[in-house]
Structure formats: structure tokens, C-alpha cells
């Protein structure tokens, strides 16, 4: 799952080397924390949060067979 979110984030930003995805477990849920540079955060969130919601939807669909929920958070570096 981490690899999928990292692939999508790297494809969207100007500086793909600044993308880092960390897996954190919280209350039985898998939280993917995506860290990017300050110039690329807007590209990942998108207008009205549309890109961020699309990434979350893809992650949720990819984890459909799993027994735990997957959450994606975007963090400014």
C-alpha cells in the first residue's frame, strides 16, 4: 500500500525525491503519512482537495480486501 501511494505522489510533484511515505498504526488502522516539500504540497492537495481525495479513494479501493482501514495524511515538510 505504501508503494502505491508513494508512486502516485511522486508522479504528481515537481521534486519526486522529496516524497516520503511512512506507515503508522493507530487504533488498528494503517495511516500513511505523506511528506513532501512546501512547494509540492499544493500539487498533492489540489484545488478544493480533489487530488488528495482521489489518492485516498485509490488507497481505500486497494485495501478493500484487507481487514483494516487505510488513511492517508499529507504533511508539509
Round to whole Å and give the CA distance between 68 and 77: 27
Report which secondary-structure segment, H or E, holds 59: helix 50-62
Round to whole Å and give the CA distance between 71 and 5: 11
Q: How high is the pLDDT of residue 77?
A: 67
CATH of the domain at 25: 3.30.300.20
> Over the stretch 17-48, which tens digit does the pLDDT of each residue have?
999 999 999 998 999 999 998 889 999 999 99
Using an 8 Å Cβ cutoff, are 51 and 11 in contact?
no
Q: Per the structure, how many domains does the chain have?
A: 1
Q: Which pairing describes strands 20-26 and 29-36: parallel, antiparallel, or unpaired? A: antiparallel
Question: Which of residues 8 and 67 earns the better pLDDT score?
Answer: 8
Q: How high is the pLDDT of residue 31?
A: 95
**Which structural domain, as residue segments, surrounds residue 7?**
2-76
Q: What is the mean pLDDT of residues 70-74?
A: 94
Q: How high is the pLDDT of residue 42?
A: 92
> Over the stretch 1-16, which tens digit does the pLDDT of each residue have?
999 999 999 999 999 9
Amino acid at each position: 500500500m505504501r508503494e502505491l501511494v508513494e508512486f502516485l505522489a511522486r508522479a504528481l510533484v515537481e521534486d519526486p525525491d522529496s516524497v516520503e511515505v511512512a506507515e503508522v498504526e493507530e487504533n488498528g488502522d494503517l495511516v500513511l503519512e505523506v511528506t513532501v516539500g512546501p512547494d509540492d504540497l499544493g500539487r498533492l492537495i489540489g484545488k478544493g482537495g480533489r487530488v488528495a481525495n482521489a489518492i485516498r479513494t485509490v488507497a481505500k479501493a486497494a485495501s478493500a480486501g484487507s481487514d483494516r482501514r487505510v488513511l492517508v495524511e499529507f504533511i508539509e515538510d
